[in-house]
Structure formats: C-alpha cells, structure tokens
Amino acid sequence: MEAETTRPDFWLDSARAQSTMRQLSAAKEVVQTWRQLEIKVTELRDVATLAIEENDQSLQEEIQHETDKVASQLDELEIRLILSDEYDARDAILALHAGAGGTESQDWAEILLRMYLRWAERHQYQAEILDTSPGEEAGIKSATMEIKGDYAYGYLKSEYGVHRLVRLSPFDADHARHTSFVLVEILPEAEEQTDIQISPDDLKIDTFRSSGPGGQHMQKTSSAIRITHLPTGMIVTCQSQRSQFQNKESAMKVLYARLFQLERAKKETEKAKLKGKRIDAGWGSQIRSYVLHPYRMVKDHRTNHETSNTTAVLDGELDEFITAYLRSKVGEEK
C-alpha cells in the first residue's frame, strides 16, 4: 500500500486514494501494536532471567504484574484477530425499529437506544443520533445512529436481529406481563463513490417540516429531508439536525450504507445458493431475550451466554455477549 501511494497518478482518484490511506493507517497501527508487544515480551524475558538468577523477589513480583498486563492485552488482540472480515474495522450505522405492540415496543426501542449509547460511551466511541421517529405516547418508533470508532461495525454486528423484552408493563393499569420486540439493524458505513456509486438522477429529494420534539425552529422550517432512491424504491428520512444541509448529509450517509448492505446481501444470497445453504429473511426469531419478570435474566439464544445482571446489560455492559458471539463464529466457513 505504501508503494501504491508513491505512484504519480495515486491522487487522481481522490476517493480511492483516501480509502487506501485509511487502510494503510489502520494496517500500520496493527503492525506497530504487535511490534511493541514483541519488544515488551523480549524485555520481560530478559529481566525475568536476571530476577531468577539473583533471586530478586520484588523484581519477580514486578515482572508478574507486567506479564499479567501483557496477557490482558493479548486477550484483547485475540478478539481483534477474530474481527478479520473486510468491513469489521469500519464505523457503524445502527437502526432500531419497534415491532408490533404499540407503546410497549416503542418504549423498549428507546431503552435499547440508551443501552447502545451507553455502550458507545464506555468504549469512548463517538455516537450521534441521525434520526428518530417518536412514539405516540412514549418511546420511539424508530431511530438511526452513527457510531464512530475502531472496529465499531465488527463489534456491533453481533447485535443484528430481534431483541425480546418480557416485563410487567408500566403502561398497563393491571401491570400485566407483556412481551415486546425490536429489530436492531447494523450496517457498515459505506465509503461514498468507492463502495457504491449513486447517480444524482436516481434520487428524488423532498423537504418537509420536522415532527415531534425539536423546538420552535424545527417546527416552523422545512428542514427535514426525505430521499427516495428511484431504482430500488428505498426511502431514507432525516429530521434530527437543525439545518436542511445537515439532514441531507445524514440521510445520504444512511442511504449509502443501506444500498451497500443491499449489494452485500445480494452477493451473500448468490454465494449461499451455490453452497446450498438455507437463507433466512425478514425478522425471524429473536437473537436475545431480556426477562425482567418473573425472574431477571438476559440470554443470547445463539451462544446460550446469559447473566442475571439485567441492570448492567441495559446500562451498556454488552461486551460479554459480543465476545461470546464473536468466539462462536471462529472457524465458520465464509
């Protein structure tokens, strides 16, 4: 890649050049991490030999402490090695869609939105809500957010699917037990004009007034954007930003990601047909259940990983579930 960047015509295609530079930067970071670890291990081994020869207990304790830190770093790097798919290192677009059940499911969608915001915060990822559609009484009908950070898509792809909540309803006068469903979509952020190209002639762009909360400014100006991709009929809206330009920019970002995902899905379908694999479509069955009554438990149905600490999970502590899923995929044929 470095050799490619020295070619005289490298910057003639700026989009491809920028993509190559990002890949090169990521590759350099990986190499640097392993080289530094290699140096650290060599130094520890040499010092350990000296500590044993001199029977220096305090030095041996210090070496043990440093060795534990190296082991912990290796555990993290092992997960990174699992994240070896082509798009794992990218930023992610996360979309939530409340299922049937009205207010119950819409409230559940908002709880999940907060959960993912807290997860991003724990990892020091940058999370921005691009669009929300508020519920009639409470919660949200849908929401789209962008999560930026190293391997955001690789980690979050484990969350794709239907999430099921069982609880005593706070909206039911009888406090009866209700089951709610929300579909979580995870898309890798597309690199415009590199992963996929969109002709301006294929777009129909409409403006309208933002609905729901957002203040006086949003209610009085037609700042909300609706973009229709004519060849596919795909529609993307955005109304969370203050300006029309910002809403259009966010909507295009989501459109690129959705069209890119559509292309990837087509290729995967063709590959699956050739291999004779079963193809799942639509919502399907839930991937994870969050039970708050009559007992407390979160269980992932793909890995059977579970915990009774539901409060922690809903507060963004998802790493155990994500790691269990990623480890379960090791060795699967691609």
Closest to 246 measured CA to CA, from 258, 235, 238, 234: 238
Task: Give the span between the Cα atoms of 64 and 290, in whole angstroms.
Answer: 40
Return d(Cα 206, Cα 55) in angstroms, integer: 77
* pLDDT at residue 157, as a whole number: 94
Residue 13 has φ and ψ, to the nearest 5°, of -105, 90
Secondary structure, 3-state, 7-35:
CCCHHHCHHHHHHHHHHHHHHHHHHHHHH
| Of 79 and 110, more confident | 110
pLDDT(75) > 90: no
Tell me phi and psi for residue 163, to 5 degrees.
Answer: -110, 130
Where is mean pLDDT largest: 14-28, 52-66, 232-246, 296-310? 296-310
Please give the structure tokens belonging to residue 193. Answer: 């004009």
Identify the pLDDT of residue 240: 77
Is residue 245 scored above 60 in pLDDT?
Answer: yes
In this structure, of 32-41, 79-88, 212-221, 307-316, the range with the lowest mean pLDDT score is 212-221
pLDDT in the model for residue 329: 84
Q: For residues 184 and 157, give the distance between their C-alpha atoms in angstroms, rounded to a whole number.
A: 10
Mind listing the pLDDT tens digit for each residue in 134-149? 998 899 999 999 999 9
pLDDT of residue 174: 77
Range in 92-101, 183-192, 281-290 the model is least confident about? 281-290
Rounded to whole angstroms, the Cα distance separating 196 from 211 reads: 31
Mean pLDDT calculated for residue range 145-164: 94
Q: Give the whole-angstrom CA distance, residue 237 versus residue 332.
A: 37
Mean pLDDT of all residues belonging to the chain: 87
Percent of the chain topping pLDDT 70: 90
Query: Mind listing the pLDDT tens digit for each residue in 211-223?
Result: 654 443 334 456 8
Q: What is the mean pLDDT of residues 224-242?
A: 90
Residue 283: the pLDDT is 57
DSSP string of 283-314, one letter each residue:
S-SEEEEEE-SSS-EEEETTT--EES-HHHHH
143 vs 109: CA distance, rounded Å: 8
152 — pLDDT class (breaks 50, 70, 90):
very high
Q: State yes or no: pLDDT of 282 exceeds 60.
A: no
pLDDT tens, residue by residue, 252-271: 999 999 999 999 888 888 77
At which residue do the structure tokens 């500590």 appear? 51
What pLDDT does residue 172 have? Answer: 79
Lowest mean pLDDT among 186-190, 236-240, 275-279: 275-279
Confidence bin at 274 (pLDDT 50/70/90): low
The model's pLDDT over 164-175, given as tens digits with 9 standing for 90+, comes to 999 998 887 777
Give the contacts of 52 (CB within 8 A, at least 6 positions apart): 60
Token code pair at residue 207: 């403006």
Asked whether the predicted pLDDT for residue 205 surpasses 90, the reply is: yes
- Total number of residues shown for the chain: 334
